[in-house]
Structure 1
Amino acid sequence: MFKNKTSFVGGGNVNLYFYQAFLDIWNGGMRDDFLTLKNANPGFELWVTGHSLGAAMASLCAGYIAYMGYIPGDKIKLVTYGQPRTGDLAYANYIDNTIPFAYRIIHQDDLVPHLPPLALEIGDLSNYTHHKSEIWYNNNMAVGQPYIECDANESNQCSDQLEGNLFNMLKEDYHDYYFNVSVMFAVHGCPNYNPGRFIIKT
């Protein structure tokens, strides 16, 4: 899945699978819904969020909307949960320079934000990097628990310090629990919920 990259409109290269998934949804009706809401609510901020695959798509969505000039980057709030590395350094820099309010929230030893690993230097699998900023909860994320903020694309002060032992991350399932809410809650009562989705709120 991480092998193939493609150019991103704002700059750099991004994962082809993630970008195509976003474009399919965007062109399949989201663009029209977004523009209808934007035009009905001029001046509103835009919040874009998602978990896992939805987090990568949310990052691409926010960057795309800013590049297209639909909403200025400083009026976009991007917050993701368990986001995998989505593109290369040029893409990360584009998000950093375009969307000041961008936060990647990571729960303890969640493996997904470390995919593909930084140490992987095999052709097209190399050069992936996160955009900033990381909010790392090295705990159970209960109300009042502390977190560390790292205002860098990648920082050993946050969850990157765990990258030397990725196999240990497989022992616990931190990816499916954020703020003590299971991403699988829908299995028990939300019939149309998709755990890989991303959400646009105006």
Structure 2
Amino acid sequence: MPRVGDKTYSFDHDKAVPNSWRIIHWRDLVPRIPFIACGYYHHKTAVLYPKDMPLGSKYTICTDNEDVACHQLPDLSISQHKSYFGLDLGGYCKTN
């Protein structure tokens, strides 16, 4: 998910919903926008999955709102936003 609020919103979310997670597919562009420099901030906790994202793969848990291990990756990709756990998510919105 993209950043949807500022720091106040993020910390209020953390208090109200302490057990929530954001799943991130390796270099997915969407979780890195809009930018922190524009005033946006993530709620915690993020779970970063590796490039191929196979079921049962190891992952990294980032417990800080903007942990660099989950959010400061180079070479971001919109194609990784369209595929999670080997499923083509873009196909779910297609109509015949």
Q: TM-score, normalised by structure 1?
A: 0.44
- The 2-side partners of 1:84 and 1:161 are apart by 14
Q: Considering fraction of residues, name the structure with more helix.
A: 1
1:161 aligns with 2:72: yes
User: Which one has a bigger Cα radius of gyration?
Assistant: 1
Cα distance, 1:183 vs. partner? 1.2
Residue 14 (structure 1) aligns with = none
Cα distance, 1:116 vs. partner? 1.3
Amino acid in structure 1 at the alignment position of 2:25: H
Residue 138 (structure 1) aligns with = 50
The SS at the match of 1:149 is: strand
Cα distance, 1:161 vs. partner? 2.4
Task: Name which of 114, 128, 131 aligns with 2:32.
Answer: 114
Cα distance, 1:185 vs. partner? 2.3
CA-based RMSD: 1.7
Give CA-to-partner distance per residue, 1:158-198, whole Å, 9 cap, x none: 2x121xx4xx224x6100001111112232xxx4xxxxxxx
Gaps of 5+ in 2: none
Gaps of 5+ in 1: 1-82, 121-125, 192-202
Q: Considering fraction of residues, name the structure with more strand.
A: 1
Residue 66 (structure 1) aligns with = none
The SS at the match of 1:141 is: coil
Residue 9 (structure 2) aligns with = 91
Contact between 1:139 and 1:145, CA under 8 Å: does it hold in 2? no
Amino acid in structure 2 at the alignment position of 1:174: Q
Q: TM-score, normalised by structure 2?
A: 0.88
Amino acid in structure 2 at the alignment position of 1:99: V
The SS at the match of 2:81 is: coil
The SS at the match of 2:3 is: coil
Give CA-to-partner distance per residue, 1:58-90, whole Å, 9 cap, x none: xxxxxxxxxxxxxxxxxxxxxxxxx00000000
- The 2-side partners of 1:157 and 1:176 are apart by 21
- The 2-side partners of 1:169 and 1:98 are apart by 31
- The 1-side partners of 2:30 and 2:85 are apart by 17
Which consecutive segments of 4 or more residues in structure 1 shift more than 4 A? Answer: none
Identity among equivalent positions (%) equals: 35
Amino acid in structure 2 at the alignment position of 1:169: L
Give CA-to-partner distance per residue, 1:21-78, whole Å, 9 cap, x none: xxxxxxxxxxxxxxxxxxxxxxxxxxxxxxxxxxxxxxxxxxxxxxxxxxxxxxxxxx
Which protein, 1 or 2, shows the higher relative CO under an 8 Å CA cutoff with sep ≥ 6?
2
